[in-house]
Chain A
Amino acid sequence: MNRRALLFAVLLVIAAAVPALGSTYDTRFATQIAIYGMAALSVDLLLGYGGLITFGQAALFGVGAYAAGMLTAAGITDALIVWPAAVLIAMAFALVIGALALRTSGFQFIMVTLAFAQMVYYGGQSLRSYGGDNGFTVARNTLAGAAVLGNHVVFYYVVLALLVAVTVLAGRVVNSEFGLVLRGGRDNERRLAAIGFPPYRYKLVAFTIAGGIAGLAGALMANHASFVSPALMSWQMSGELLAMVILGSAGTLIGPVFGAAIYLVFAQMLSDYTEHWMLFFGPLLVLRVLLVKDGLWGSLVRLANAGEAPAPPLDWGPEAAE
């Protein structure tokens, strides 16, 4: 088992032990980290592996939350129906937004994703029957008929299991043939087209998949907070997700979850200290961007691997050279 997998296993054990070792508050906090981590992971899929800087992922996060909330409010309360539905609806939104936004690239892409996310935000605000700007409360979903999700420990383990599942699945995707095309486009889109891949199509599929993941996180958030509001879709939220990816290390899938933990813990600590914690958080983010090169997860992995020969980017093995 390589060092990275070992680190991951250690993290998993720690995460699983939280309800036993910590208070209700700690478990709820860990749940929040896991949910934001999933949303940040979806950003990393696009950013770290696709080279797409999206400032609009909060829109898909919010769409998932609204979908879950609206379905639950309408009487459909089983998570086994609501959550997949939220994923599909978020994917539909991602498909439309992506189809338009991916026509652009670079700075333009950032601006367009930001703009479309803002549009979805205004859309959420316009939903008068769902509280408009104030949002609305949501009951917890049931799991196959049983109201077990109301228990914060059960809910935490469900969220954790889903996070692990998403991480593993995303890991398969980025190493699959599709993933290689995506990463090739991140490295050199011109080259990718020159060998015969249409970049747009692959980016759009990645955008849609990432949207689905963000949508799942949103549905979980609706349950966690028992509340849905347009604030989930604000551009500040999109920026925070990007920051989480960077803090944790882009292009690692696990890093963003780490980054979410760092971000939320820091925010919590600072806000305990002062009401005006953003006054310090903003400059800290600026300093972090200007001064630090790598994210925390990347640094940890490198530390753990110190002394070992670096693994080649793609492990082809000597037996291939017949």
Chain B
Amino acid sequence: MTAPLLECVDLQKAFGALQVTDHVSLAVAPGEVHALIGPNGAGKTTLVGQFAGEISPDSGTIRFSGRDITALSTDRRARLGLARTFQISSVFGSFSAAGNAALAVQATEPHSFRFWRRADRIERLRRPAYRLLRELGLAERSESPAGGLSHGEHRQLELAMALATKPTMLLLDEPMAGLGSDETPAMLALLERLKRKLTILLIEHDMDVVFQLADRISVLVAGRLLVTGTPDEIRAHPEVRAAYLGEDEAD
């Protein structure tokens, strides 16, 4: 494999007596869609949290584009090109959808220490924001307060914000979570379009989505990385079937 875009080496994190991340070494190749699966409580969100910079590991290294980012703050990592969406939609509630997207566009500027001009009249922020909302199907809702959007629209907005920062890689925490059966295909199509353009690491429980999108899958169980492989390898892996997929086979 060529040099990974994002990798962690021997990552450890404990909360009290609970070892949430146990000697995890994982590498995401540039351009691939890498899915992270595992039973509830396996530590997937904590792992992504460490990748994103919100949780600092007890030991181990995290590298992005070859650069050691273990000590970098979340905002620094975002500026390096590592964007994320949250499991529970996290938007700026008092801003409109367009305002949310525009603030994300604004984040790509070197700094925002400008105090006079009205930000909502600045073209270089508005245009990309509107373009993104259109691409993600939110054009009609652009002026609606973000707090009042539906759950699916929140998901779309989250993605819009992540994309607005012009990332090289996306960390997606359960992008399908809470979507209705009518909303899921749209999100899936969106993610398909993003394949190849961006590197993606996603946590997902919906196995259909995982097998459709992922180039490689890593299985996390009780904080440990069980195995990494192609969808076929994972499907056939006996331990994975037992620990995780076995539950699905039953129904």
Contacts and interface: CB of A to CB of B under 8 A. Distances in A.
Interface of A: 172-173, 175-181, 183-184, 186-188, 190-199, 202, 205, 312-316, 320-322
A196 B79 CA distance: 5
Contact of B90 (A172, A179, A188, A199): A188
Contacts of B83: 194-195
Contact of B114 (A178, A184, A187, A315): A178
A301 to B, nearest CB: 16
Contacts of A193: 73-75, 78
B148 to A, nearest CB: 11
Interface string B100-142: 0011101111001111111110100111001000100001001
Nearest to B139: A321
Interface residues of B, number: 51
A313 B91 contact: no
Given A175-B119, A314-B120, A198 B99 contact: no
Given A198-B73, A202-B112, A322-B130, A176 B103 contact: no
* Chain A interface main SS type: helix
Contact of B74 (A173, A194, A313, A314): A194
Contacts of A314: 95-96, 98-99, 102, 119-120
Contact of A312 (B104, B127, B143): B143
The 8 nearest A-B residue pairs measured at CB: A196-B78, A196-B107, A193-B74, A314-B99, A314-B120, A187-B92, A195-B107, A177-B112
Given A181-B112, A194-B84, A320-B126, A188 B75 contact: no
B159 interface: no
B54 A313 contact: no
B69 interface: no
Contacts of B109: 177
A316 B75 contact: no
A177 B118 CA distance: 7
A194 B119 CA distance: 20
Contacts of B94: 183, 186-187, 313
A82 B191 CA distance: 61
